């Protein structure tokens, strides 16, 4: 409360001096006060995020089963990325998932943004509401839904049988070859609403004159997209790439709730391997190493994309 009493005097001097170079007593006190306001959040953040992040790095250099004493492992847990077949397969699946979680949703989002750019599409709000809906649904519910859709007696197979393609009908999620793309499509379904809304909002910020000029110049839809829409969406594109690629490398819920990584290891992902290593037959060091690599890759992607999009703005 002492601060409040002294405010009139110091406030007046701060007002008289230029704002930039007035490291007055008052401002310094304000910054300590700021730290006090921040302290509770910082404490929780430190306990839940920072400390475990450091511990994770430390644990990743040990062999530990979670109970008995840990032993030094050196880089063994990291070499697992090269040697462990399950982990290697998981990384391959991640690349596969990036196509379905990132490339396809972004393509669909761009297409819909280009089609609706600057045009009065009646009922646009309704389309947007519907297409964004999967973002809101709980992954647990999404999983129940897609399990049903892909079931041996589910709607996809009913349609195939109705078309006389009985030979193609099977349990999609139980199939070694089809489970992964089937989950990929579920991922596209869940992700493209966000991409679309992001891009449609972005096109609305593009000046209408640019579109008019392109039309006057005789540009068709494709050249208009290339010269007006795409450059205007650079920032949104950066956000979409970051979000969806990170989503693809982190994917856990939908896989765990539908296939548990199976059949066999045909849909296994790095986070599923991590979960199994950490809790099923604990190899905490190996699980931690996966976590560390996940964090590094995520940071790298975020930094690269931010840098790229900023270069474009300058």
Partner 1 sequence: MISTREKIFNYAFLTLLAVSVLFPIVYILGVAISPSTSGTLDLAHPQWSNFATAWQQAGFARYLRSSVIITGTVVGVSTVLAVMSGYAFGVLGVVGEKALFPLMLLGIMIPMESIIVPLYYDFLAFDLTDGYQGIILAHIGTGVSFGAFWMRAAFRTMPAGIAESAELDGAGSWTRLWRIYLPISRPAILTFVVLSFMWTWNDYFLSLILVADPAHQPLTLGLGTFSGRHLVQVNLLAAAAVLMSLPIVGLYLFFQRQFIRGMLSGALKG
Stretch that binds partner 1, among 71-79, 99-107, 147-155, 259-267 (CB under 8 A): 147-155
Which residues are CB-contacts of 25 (< 8 A; sequence separation ≥ 6)? 10
Site for partner 1 contains 275 (CB under 8 A): yes
User: CB of residue 35 vs partner 1: minimum separation in angstroms?
Assistant: 5
Which of 110, 183, 228, 243 is the binder for partner 1 (CB under 8 A)? 243
**CA gyration radius, the chain:** 26
Site for partner 1 contains 184 (CB under 8 A): no
d(C-alpha 142, C-alpha 173), whole Å: 14
Which of 44, 95, 208, 308 is the binder for partner 1 (CB under 8 A)? 44
User: CB of residue 302 vs partner 1: minimum separation in angstroms?
Assistant: 5
Reading the block at residue 202, the tokens are 């972005």
Which of 62, 101, 146, 225 is the binder for partner 1 (CB under 8 A)? 146
Distances (CA, A) of 23 to 15, 17, 20, 38, 66: 12, 10, 8, 21, 51
Which of 90, 248, 255, 284 is the binder for partner 1 (CB under 8 A)? 284
Burial label for 81, CB within 10 Å (0-12, 13-18, 19+), is: middle
Angle at 230 (CA atoms; ends 186, 244), nearest 5 degrees: 30
- Number of residues in contact with partner 1 under rule CB under 8 A: 101
Q: Which of residues 71-110 bind partner 1 (CB under 8 A)?
A: 108
Site for partner 1 contains 222 (CB under 8 A): no
Helix residue ranges, H only, the chain: 2-16, 25-45, 51-59, 76-83, 85-98, 104-116, 124-136, 139-150, 155-162, 179-204, 208-216, 221-224, 230-232, 234-250, 253-258, 270-275, 284-313
Stretch that binds partner 1, among 95-103, 128-136, 166-174, 227-235 (CB under 8 A): 128-136
Q: Which of residues 252-271 bind partner 1 (CB under 8 A)?
A: 252-253, 256-257, 271
Q: Which of residues 148-177 bind partner 1 (CB under 8 A)?
A: 148-149, 151, 153-155
Site for partner 1 contains 116 (CB under 8 A): yes
Which of 17, 22, 95, 141 is the binder for partner 1 (CB under 8 A)? 141
Which of 17, 51, 95, 208 is the binder for partner 1 (CB under 8 A)? 51
Which residue in the block uniquely carries the two structure tokens 């009913």?
158
């Amino acid at each position: 409360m002492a601060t409040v009493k002294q405010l009139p005097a110091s406030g007046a001097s701060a007002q008289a001096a230029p704002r930039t170079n007035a490291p007055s007593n008052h401002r310094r006190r304000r910054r300590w006060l700021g730290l006090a306001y921040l302290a509770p959040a910082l404490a929780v953040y430190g306990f839940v995020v920072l400390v475990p992040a450091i511990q994770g790095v430390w644990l990743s250099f040990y062999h530990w089963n979670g109970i008995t004493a840990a032993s030094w492992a050196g880089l063994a847990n990291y070499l697992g990325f090269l040697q462990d077949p399950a982990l290697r397969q998981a990384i391959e699946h991640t690349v596969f998932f990036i196509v379905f979680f990132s490339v396809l949703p972004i393509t669909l989002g761009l297409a819909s943004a280009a089609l609706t750019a600057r045009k009065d599409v009646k009922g646009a709000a309704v389309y947007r509401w519907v297409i964004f809906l999967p973002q809101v649904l709980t992954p647990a519910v999404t999983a129940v839904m897609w399990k049903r859709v892909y079931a041996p007696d589910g709607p996809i197979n009913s349609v195939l049988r109705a078309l006389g393609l009985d030979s193609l009908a099977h349990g999609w999620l139980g199939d070694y070859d089809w489970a992964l793309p089937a989950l990929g499509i579920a991922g596209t379904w869940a992700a493209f609403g966000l991409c679309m809304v992001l891009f449609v909002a972005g096109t609305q910020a593009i000046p209408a004159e640019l579109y008019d000029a392109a039309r006057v110049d005789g540009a068709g839809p494709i050249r208009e997209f290339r010269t007006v829409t795409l450059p205007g969406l650079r920032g949104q594109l950066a956000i979409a790439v970051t979000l969806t690629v990170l989503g693809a490398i982190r994917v856990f819920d939908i896989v765990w709730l539908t296939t548990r990584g199976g059949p066999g290891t045909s849909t296994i992902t790095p986070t599923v391997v991590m979960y199994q290593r950490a809790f099923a037959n604990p190899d905490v060091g190996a699980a931690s190493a996966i976590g560390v690599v996940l964090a590094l890759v995520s940071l790298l992607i975020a930094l690269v994309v931010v840098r790229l999009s900023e270069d474009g703005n300058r």
